[in-house]
Amino acid sequence: DEGVVRRDRFSGGPARSFLSSLEADRRIFEADLEVDRAHVVMLAEQGIVEDAVAGSVLTALDAIEVEGHAGLPEGEDVHEAIETAVIERIGEEGGKMHTARSRNDEVAACIRYRLREDVLEAIETTLALRESLVEVAADHQETIMPGYTHLQPAQPITVAHWALSYEAAVRRDTARLLEAYDRINESPLGGAAFAGTTFDIDRERTAELLGFEGVVENSMDASSSRDFLLETVQALSTHATTLSGLAEDVVIFANRGFVDLSDDYSSTSSIMPQKKNPDTLELVRAVAGDAAGSAQGLTTTLKGLPRAYNRDLQRATTHAWETVDAVTEASEVAAGAVATADWNAETLAAEAGEGFSTATGVADLLAANGLPFRTAHEMVAVAAENGGDYDALEAAAEDVLGEPLESLVDPEDVRNALDPAESVASRDSQGGPAPGAVADQLEGARSAVADD
């Protein structure tokens, strides 16, 4: 067998393990068997190989599947090893399996076939996270908490408003992954090395057998493009970035006693007996770094690659597996941590007014009573420096405007504006934190999760 001789000649030497992707290809072992099956069925249907040969190839593939990846002979990659195993089982007729294709279109088909499944799982975890966030929101529509900018107390909000802000972001992450999925889900099989084939193949048929939504038309594009990998890793990296912000918030909230993480999502210290640390969320936060690194590594590998197939592509693939695994796991953990955490409504309420967080509401009130907003801002800023309470506002009115506060605004309204719960209730603009506005957002979130 010429092929086997040539293969022996080229697969030895000190670079053998450097060349080989056989270990990494464990991930696409089942995918390769499916791709082989679809291809050989199509070849038989087209009269390119005899039915009997196709039948024995299929039988051999089943046996190889039972033995598993570990049972494969040596090879430069899983495609070569499976072909060798088929030939070992049924003789040189097995070599007909590789008619009208190349490892180039084969590997692209395997990656897409497997990645499709992995991305669906990632999408499902985004949905689980969104469900957790919706649950939290539903339970805490009136749970007042401090909201921050620059990590400083800024304006009171509710836990529901916070949770729905992340549901909205994760919703876009889901959408990006769904879009990436559609572009993964096209068959490159039949592109051959890159320049098509002389055989009368049926690309639509193999696409159909493998459950792809259509074919990647141009054979050179089919065998060599990896922008579907890049898009997927980037979408995952974006999701990981969303997760990192969520994780950071929860770490801070846990630190301040706003939220108690379940023991399942916490860790202890080996030396400090009193500790309960939010380690799982810190790891979630760190996955964003790995994912961004993979997106960068993949981009750099693909940048400037000429058409058509170049072996660099072998090292492109692993970025996708690492990223999809890490981000899916992080998303799952984030969903679990959020779903099982207890929010301390009392602590949150006590802290909601910290740092004169109702100042904006007071300035808004003065502005609504006719004072230019900038003047109101100045006056309330002076009050903030002097304690930010009713007395401070009275003094500031005299100092800055030379008028008693009661002449500008009803004192009762001022006292309401200073109350965090009233402050939240008054911010009922579209998308705002007031319970009514949040109820609309909650309804939107629920139906978006159901739609996705």
For residue 315, the minimal CB distance to ligand ARG (Å) is 8
Is residue 423 annotated as part of the catalytic site, yes or no?
Answer: no
For residue 22, the minimal CB distance to ligand ARG (Å) is 9
**115 scored as a contact of ligand ARG (CB under 6 A):** no
**224 scored as a contact of ligand ARG (CB under 6 A):** no
Long-range contacts of 144-150 (CB under 8 A, 24+ apart): 144/348, 144/349, 144/352, 144/420, 144/421, 144/424, 145/258, 145/343, 145/348, 145/349, 145/351, 145/352, 146/348, 146/351, 146/352, 146/353, 146/354, 146/355, 146/357, 147/357, 147/433
For residue 309, the minimal CB distance to ligand ARG (Å) is 5
Q: Which of 103, 164, 99 is nearest to 136 (CA)?
A: 164
Only one of the segments 220-228, 312-320, 323-331, 430-438 lies at the binding site for ligand ARG (rule: CB under 6 A); that segment is 312-320
Is residue 319 annotated as part of the catalytic site, yes or no?
Answer: no
CA angle centred on 451, ends 450 and 452, rounded to 5°: 95
**313 scored as a contact of ligand ARG (CB under 6 A):** yes
Only one of the segments 159-167, 262-270, 311-319, 398-406 lies at the binding site for ligand ARG (rule: CB under 6 A); that segment is 311-319
Binding test (CB under 6 A) with ligand ARG, winner from 274, 303, 311, 451: 311
d(CA 224, CA 41): 24
Binding test (CB under 6 A) with ligand ARG, winner from 194, 309, 343, 356: 309
> Mask of contacts with ligand ARG, 68-107, x by CB under 6 A?
---------x-------------------------xx--x
Single-letter amino acid code for the residue at 127? L
For residue 305, the minimal CB distance to ligand ARG (Å) is 12
**21 scored as a contact of ligand ARG (CB under 6 A):** yes
User: Are the C-beta atoms of residues 242 and 169 closer than 8 Å to each other?
Assistant: yes
Q: Which of 112, 99, 96 is nearest to 207 (CA)?
A: 112
**118 scored as a contact of ligand ARG (CB under 6 A):** no
Single-letter amino acid code for the residue at 417? A
Q: Which of 132, 239, 244, 269 is catalytic?
A: 269
User: Are the C-beta atoms of residues 395 and 386 closer than 8 Å to each other?
Assistant: yes
Q: Using CB under 6 A, list all residues that contact ligand ARG.
A: 21, 77, 103-104, 107, 309, 311, 313-314, 317
Q: What are the residue numbers of the active site? A: 150, 269
